Chains A and B, each alone.
Chain A
Amino acid sequence: MTEPLLRIDQLRVRFDTPEGVVHAVNDVSFQVGAGETLAIVGESGCGKSVTALSILRLLPSPPARLAGGSIRFQGQELTSLGETALRQLRGDRIGMVFQEPMTSLNPVLTIGRRLTEGLRRHHGLSRRAARERVLALLERVQIPDPSRRLDQYPHELSGGMRQRVMIAIAVACAPSLLIADEPTTALDVTIQAQVLDLIGELCEAMGTAVILVTHDLGVVGDVADRVVVMYAGRVVEDAAVDDLFSRPLHPYTQGLFAARPNLTPTVAGQRARLTEIPGMVPSLRAGVTGCAFAPRCRAATAQCRAQTPLLRPFDSSGHAVACHHAGGDA
């Protein structure tokens, strides 16, 4: 079996806060193949963004701390990589798109400045050559009148336009992997689809793999190849997108589908009424014993409360789930 583009193994991230250690990411493992689109799904605070940010070591440290695990990218271990070597990957082989296009662009620098910077740093292009490349790039992300936009500042652009610029920055050096951290969350619903399509098109054309962090299952169904579902800092389910949608195994995943409005019911007895998952996300301050979802799970047993279920393959298709009762007696 060949080495995947990115392989994360048993990743642990801790936050050292005055109130105690927060176990933000616990033994998270997944892989992304070249050109593949992986979606990481979960609700706020489940560790999906922390996982994404820790790949390029972009979390503020302190308080964040890598407490274990391995991140291998193109066969290279990133967790032990020096800051200089890592910096050469950032923006060149791995691009990032962030959630808030309003705050993720420096308000006092022009669009052109930001776009050309990465190219000039990583590919040593001259100011003029970089400008040429960037003009073509802005056209590709469908920004009208690109030469005028280059000299404009972020506040002169609309939200959707800014996110297009963010995408242009991220893909400027044609990366092998694009990490998009909730790229559409802050956008208008009408623009969300356009932006996602854009990411999809660009990455397909360049053969770029995508990690899409989102809490929107609708988005996942449209663009992802594989899906990783996270809950309370752990991966609870990992499956190909069709497989997950047709046969969600973890009670949490099932709950997520049930909580979607206007969807064909996947849980028995589902009506037009919106179902929510009862209870609250557990605090990650203390290490959780047993299944973190057990307090909210209708099928929870004594075993669930005592023993943390590990992610295990469910069938040969690569569908994996972390539940003691998945498929069988759940």
Chain B
Amino acid sequence: MLGYVLRRLVATIPVVIVVAVVVFLLARLAGDPASVIAGENATAEQIAQIRNRLGLDQPLLVQFARWSWSIAHGDLGVSIFTNTPVAQLIVQRIGPTFSLAVVTIVLAILLGIPSGVLAAVFVRRVPDRVIMMLAVAGFSIPIFVLAYLLILGFAISWPILPVQGYTPLARGVLPWLGNLILPGLALALVYAALIARTTRAALLDVLAEDYIRTARAKGLLPREVVWLHALKAASVPIATVIGIGIALLVGGAVVIETVFAIPGLGRLTVDAIARRDFPVIQGVILLFSGIYVLINLLIDLSYTWLDPRVRFT
């Protein structure tokens, strides 16, 4: 087991290298940061000066080698716009994004799994039809539309929650949660729909299994059969889809943090792209891909706990 984890971690190294190359090239594609920094009326000479200061006049290979060298030493570089170390920027912004992710995932699970179970138990009947219709809606409505609808409903027409902003957890759980419920909900509905559909499908497969009949023949209550016997057996695909959801969250977070004015990593990324602040872009995306790889590993490890037949050696 430990050997497996170590091998998986080692296997992430090539992934990280490939990601680093792609991120590096993508950031270059965004355009020349020197002309942005210099402003609209800058002369060609001024721009060339800035390019020289940032090392942008060096060949790409040299630039990449320098960047990788510093990354290998744990240095993500310095923002070329604010002159703040990238690592420091990330630390400042990670709290809100992490909070948003936690609230979103919890909401998505709390909404998705019970609806999926309900749909499976009442398959092809009214509750199933209604839940599956809502799931399709959840997939189809763009996140930002949903976000504005929620703001309109719960912050303006019926003002029980703040329109936007972020309060750190340190200032109390309720204010923190109050600010995160609407963005979390807007983001969670897509994943809840995904989780509900997967739960329904996995549970339907399991409910048709012989061992469910065995459980019923033992005289167990229907809820014991469904929630203990069936759901545990159906948990591997559900865990997979929850994990994918966490990984996909990053894209949604960019949109939601902009709509709700949450000072998180998503906003940091958007701002950095607009300014062509490539050390920041590179740093954040590298972090995201690291998290992605780690979450995938955690999901794979959760299988051993969920399904005793899975053993990694």
Contact = CB atoms under 8 A, between A and B. Distances in A.
Contact of A91 (B212, B218, B232, B306): B218
Contacts of A106: 209, 211-212, 214-215, 229, 232-233
Contacts of A104: 210-211, 213-214
A89 B219 contact: yes
Interface centre among B212, B213, B221 (most CB of A within 10 A): B213
A153 B229 contact: no
A96 B217 contact: yes
A90 B213 CA distance: 11
A269 to B, nearest CB: 43
Interface stretch (A115-123, A129-137, A285-293, A319-327): A115-123
Main secondary structure of the interface of B (DSSP, over half): helix
B220 A103 contact: no
B307 A100 contact: no
B297 to A, nearest CB: 22
A105 interface: yes
B216 A90 contact: yes
A90 B218 contact: yes
A87 interface: yes
A98 interface: yes
B219 A107 contact: no
B39 interface: no
Contacts of A117: 218, 220, 224
A170 B228 CA distance: 19
B53 interface: no
Nearest to B228: A109
B309 interface: yes
B238 to A, nearest CB: 13
A169 B214 contact: yes
B217 A107 contact: no
B211 to A, nearest CB: 4
Nearest to A115: B218
Contacts of A247: none
Contacts of A89: 219
B74 interface: no
A330 interface: no
Interface in B196-248: 209-221, 224, 228-229, 232-233, 235
Contacts, number: 80
Given A166-B214, A169-B214, A121 B219 contact: yes
Interface size of A as a range: 20 to 34
Contact of B308 (A108, A114, A118): A108
Given A108-B307, A153-B308, A122 B214 contact: no
B210 A107 contact: no
Between B213, B214, B232, B233, the greatest number of chain A beta carbons within 10 A of the residue's beta carbon is seen for B214
Nearest to A56: B217
B150 to A, nearest CB: 38
A88 B219 CA distance: 6
A122 B221 CA distance: 11
B122 to A, nearest CB: 13
Contact of B210 (A98, A109, A121, A169): A98
A176 to B, nearest CB: 14
A137 B2 CA distance: 37
A155 interface: yes
A92 B232 CA distance: 25
Nearest to A169: B218
Contacts of A122: 219
A31 B235 CA distance: 43
Interface string A158-176: 0000000010011000000
A107 B220 CA distance: 17
24 contacts: A58-B216, A87-B219, A87-B220, A87-B221, A91-B219, A92-B219, A95-B217, A96-B214, A96-B217, A98-B214, A98-B217, A99-B210, A103-B209, A105-B211, A106-B215, A106-B229, A106-B232, A107-B233, A108-B233, A108-B235, A108-B309, A117-B224, A118-B218, A170-B217
Interface of B: 209-221, 224, 228-229, 232-233, 235, 306-309
Given A107-B211, A107-B309, A170-B217, 8 more contacts: A58-B217, A90-B216, A90-B219, A99-B210, A109-B229, A117-B224, A121-B218, A169-B218
